Structure 1
Amino acid sequence: MRIKENYQGRKVLVIGLARSGLAVANLLTIQGARVTVTDEKSKRELINNIKKLKKGIKILLGRQDSVRLKNLVSEYDLLVISPGVPQENPLVEKARKLKIPVVSEIEAAFNIASSNLHWETLSSPPVVAVTGTNGKTTTCELIAAVLRSNGRRKVIVAGNIGTPLSGVVGRMRERTVLVLEISSFQLENVESFHPYVAVILNITPDHMDRHRTMGKYIQAKANILKKQTEEDFCILNGDDKRCKILEGKAKSQVIFFSSKRALRKGVFVEGKRIVSNLDSRAKVPSDRGELLVKHVRVPGPHNLENALVAIAIGDIFSISRSKIRRAIEAFSGIEHRLEIVREIDGRRFINDSKATNVDACKRALETFPAPIILIMGGYDKGAPYRPLANLVREKVAALILLGQAASRIERELIGSVAIYRVDGMREGVELSYSLSQPGSSILLSPACSSFDMYSDFEERGKDFKRWVKEI
């Protein structure tokens, strides 16, 4: 573990005043740092978060202040950047030239938690960190359900899941287990971040508008392994070739999971059974109650994979098989992720607004039977849509497009299915219903981010549900 970090009296510049920036600015202030926050947005756009800042925090907003601040970067001891801030940000580039440390919000919060809770005295901190292109949120909540089933330790879920780590540090106690959803953006600037269990669910093209190449995207994901030791665990997808390659970067004990084949060591599906065969160094519980595929209630083969990860972590934490099974059976999924909204006249409406990339949309299409009326589109993240063509041709009766990416999606999928263009969600929902028939699944699975029309995927999903309920 790292030595204690002391922020008392240090001048810190926090870049970005969304949820993560707000939380880390307040946390650093509590630790005695002299904090300045900056954002290119205006005071009017950020007024709600500004009101939540602690007294004494200096605020510089708008492009004009950002340009002026570039000449003042040398005055700061540390830059903490929010996940949405790219590496090419002028303030970040200037700080690096001046050799001023630049860290992510997750790194700063982890260091403070480590200091407050004396994690430096432990071989490994009680942290489970989950990354991957898809399935992170569902897997984190499922892991938390399994860990809570033991009833012995407090479990907190945070990170990219909606509540920043900086926002929960004050609620943590010595026996708290932290389950963190970690994005590639958050992993770009970590040095000391050290999870006891690191999970990489899958790696498929995403955020190419930010990372530019798959190599850089994979390296960002691999940073989750950087500080692990042989006392720790790394859980990797044995069916994902990009994940399997990362075994070579791991200094920790590697556990694979697979829904497609038996493994010599790991967690896998064998017929109707789920088998957990971990390395002898893991404390596998003596209660060997049987786990079956049918115990996983959330739909889709990808959710079976998520359950395999939760089972592996349950075994690592010595939770009995019967408790693991009850936790998995009771888990019914999360809002905006393959969420069944309602059924009308034999037509099922499904909210999968969290499907912000092509692979997530593909997984949704694999989950439900034809005929599907698919609503896609949003802000284009740069990945190709052509890989969906065969599945769209096979299962989709009509494709409804909206948002900034609509033209590009149409160019890449033209000829696969009948395509319709709409201006907004209300028109898309109404058209989808008119094009459907009894037995149809009407699926919102955008394959794009939401920022061209909405503040986030949650607002987009709620808008979809609002208009579905109006039918």
Structure 2
Amino acid sequence: MELQRRAAVVGIGVSNLALIRYLVHKGVSVTACDRRSAAELGERAAELHRLGVRLVTGEGYLAPLADHDLIFLTPGMPKHLPEIEAARRRGAVISGEIGLVLDLCRAPVIGVTGSAGKTTTTTLIGEILRASAREIHVGGNIGTPLIEKVEAIPPEAVVVLELSSFQLQLVRRSPHIAVITNISPNHLDVHATMEEYVEAKKGIFRCQSPADWLVLNADDPLVRSFADEARSRVVLFSRRGDPGGRDAAFIRDGQLVWRRGGQELPTLLVEELRLPGLHNQENVLAAMAACYLAGAPLSAVREVLTRFTGVEHRIEPVRVLDGVKWYNDSKATSPTEAVAALSTLPAPIVLIAGGSDKGIRFDPIAPLVKEKVKCLILTGPTAPKIEEAVRRGGYTGPVHRAADMAEAVALARAAAVSGDTVLLSPACASFDAYRNFEERGRHFKSLVEALQ
């Protein structure tokens, strides 16, 4: 992508603020656009002023797009707004921070996407390659934005990116190694249709060449079908058995196996993994395949997989109090992710769920709620939808409504007895009450740690 003299940047979040600093450093005249007022933006608005950036806020914040030919969008905004469509029709280049990172990066890139498991898989890949004595930079949807340092990353390093559907909608280049963990309905409050969501995910391999690699979950029929569209070399992974092919990662007779060019390399036993849950076996296989393709030795793969216990906010143990185990799964922002936690942890469970609405049905959690949940505590705007879904699925246990997280934790404390598990697994985004799932999870943990 060729930088122009002027650019409009829409949405002043963390990644776009870093992008604006980069553009200003390159001599680009930037107009920053945000629906929030300067007062609401606070220190971010002050920094833009110091950088000499024009700031347009309020209802007409998209008006500057009409006279800009280079436009960068914040990932989570709808891409089909009239002002954006008009800019696209007249030939404006519309991109995002990640699109520019991919254009500028000289090092090979491993990209990870999916509806669930992205963060765990991305983190595992970074840890394994770091244990291989490689220079590693992890970013994208996690960590710090890479745009301000991407030009200093040497060709011999490796960049690992967690990529959301929002980010992939705006890319014109695909990673050298692309990983898709799974796909289920998600973000339908922003994507116009499920078809649009799936097409966005395909952006991770759409621009690959025959020299690139695509790692696909063979146990997900939709994901496996992408192999028919790929121009790159395909590697399948499966926790259910050998998926076939000369190149694959799979579990056979309790052992994780890597096959490359028909030659098999037994890596470790399933019982040696520290990560709990069947879903994490899939994440481990995906990471293992990507790392072997990137040249990681068996020793590094084994070292990390036998010590890695998980990421913050994903089935994270908080404490044991009076015989009750408390878990923080705030990163479960969709029903699919909540299903993974409910499948992993033992009954009886006191479940705290609910939050902001992403336009997804909650029926997938109903069977496990019926089977394992003794008490359901719901918060946020989605509470009625969740209760309706689980009742429809046959759940007959008590349902309580909590005004906020503090009340939810208090209700859970009252409902749980020794031997129970209390699980925060919202199955929803956090934006009704928090800036992000991290803030929600840390608030939950602080409340739990404060219990006497």
TM-score, with structure 1 as normaliser: 0.91
- 1:134 pairs with 2:116: yes
Letter in 2 for 1:254: V
Letter in 2 for 1:157: V
How far off is 1:167 after superposition? 4.2
Question: Within 5 A, what are the aligned runs for 1:55-454?
Answer: 55-64=51-60, 66=61, 70=63, 72-111=64-103, 113-114=104-105, 119=106, 125-151=107-133, 153-169=134-150, 171-191=152-172, 193-265=173-245, 266-279=248-261, 288=265, 290-414=267-391, 415-416=394-395, 417-454=397-434
Cα distance in 1 for residues equivalent to 2:449 and 2:413: 12
Could you say what secondary structure the match of 1:211 adopts?
A: coil
Cα distance in 1 for residues equivalent to 2:162 and 2:122: 6
Residue 15 of structure 1: aligned partner: 10
Cα distance in 1 for residues equivalent to 2:26 and 2:178: 28
Cα distance in 1 for residues equivalent to 2:139 and 2:193: 28
Cα distance in 2 for residues equivalent to 1:73 and 1:270: 54
Letter in 2 for 1:47: G
Q: Deviations over 1:246-286 (max 9, x none)?
A: 11121111001101122323101112211111236xxx8x9
**Does the CA contact (< 8 Å) of 1:130 and 1:201 recur in 2?**
yes
Letter in 2 for 1:346: G
**Does the CA contact (< 8 Å) of 1:378 and 1:405 recur in 2?**
yes
**Does the CA contact (< 8 Å) of 1:199 and 1:236 recur in 2?**
yes
Residue 28 of structure 1: aligned partner: 23
Cα distance in 1 for residues equivalent to 2:171 and 2:292: 28
Q: Residues 52 and 330 from structure 1, CA distance in 2 versus in 1: closer, same or farther, beyond 3 angstroms?
A: farther
TM-score, with structure 2 as normaliser: 0.95
**Does the CA contact (< 8 Å) of 2:76 and 2:190 recur in 1?**
no
How far off is 1:91 after superposition? 2.9
**Does the CA contact (< 8 Å) of 2:141 and 2:164 recur in 1?**
yes
Letter in 1 for 2:388: R
**Does the CA contact (< 8 Å) of 1:158 and 1:168 recur in 2?**
no
**Does the CA contact (< 8 Å) of 1:11 and 1:75 recur in 2?**
no
Q: Structure 1: which 4+ aligned runs deviate by more than 4 Å?
A: none
Q: Deviations over 1:363-396 (max 9, x none)?
A: 1000011100000000011111122211111000
How far off is 1:19 after superposition? 1.1
Q: Deviations over 1:320-373 (max 9, x none)?
A: 212210011121211111100001111110000000000000010000111000
**Does the CA contact (< 8 Å) of 2:78 and 2:191 recur in 1?**
no
Could you say what secondary structure the match of 1:255 adopts?
A: strand
Cα distance in 1 for residues equivalent to 2:255 and 2:266: 11
How far off is 1:311 after superposition? 1.2
Letter in 2 for 1:174: P
Letter in 2 for 1:173: P
**Does the CA contact (< 8 Å) of 1:237 and 1:256 recur in 2?**
yes
How far off is 1:190 after superposition? 1.6
Could you say what secondary structure the match of 1:234 adopts?
A: strand
Cα distance in 2 for residues equivalent to 1:62 and 1:172: 38
Cα distance in 2 for residues equivalent to 1:444 and 1:106: 31
RMSD (Å), alpha carbons:
1.7
Cα distance in 2 for residues equivalent to 1:418 and 1:208: 29
Cα distance in 1 for residues equivalent to 2:313 and 2:200: 26
Q: Deviations over 1:137-190 (max 9, x none)?
A: 111110011111110x21010001142232442552222210000000111122
**Does the CA contact (< 8 Å) of 1:40 and 1:62 recur in 2?**
yes
Cα distance in 2 for residues equivalent to 1:319 and 1:449: 35
Q: How many residues align?
A: 445
Cα distance in 2 for residues equivalent to 1:332 and 1:18: 30
Could you say what secondary structure the match of 2:317 adopts?
A: strand
Of the structure 1 ranges 454-463 and 171-180, higher mean CA displacement relative to structure 2 is found in 171-180
Of the structure 1 ranges 401-410 and 370-379, higher mean CA displacement relative to structure 2 is found in 401-410
How far off is 1:57 after superposition? 2.0
Cα distance in 2 for residues equivalent to 1:163 and 1:345: 39
Cα distance in 2 for residues equivalent to 1:274 and 1:405: 39
Cα distance in 2 for residues equivalent to 1:422 and 1:15: 35
Residue 122 of structure 1: aligned partner: none
Q: Residues 290 and 74 from structure 1, CA distance in 2 versus in 1: closer, same or farther, beyond 3 angstroms?
A: closer
**Does the CA contact (< 8 Å) of 1:237 and 1:257 recur in 2?**
yes
Gaps of 5+ in 1: 120-124
Could you say what secondary structure the match of 2:190 adopts?
A: helix
Could you say what secondary structure the match of 1:36 adopts?
A: strand
User: Percent identity between the aligned chains?
Assistant: 40
Cα distance in 2 for residues equivalent to 1:306 and 1:279: 22
Cα distance in 1 for residues equivalent to 2:136 and 2:430: 30
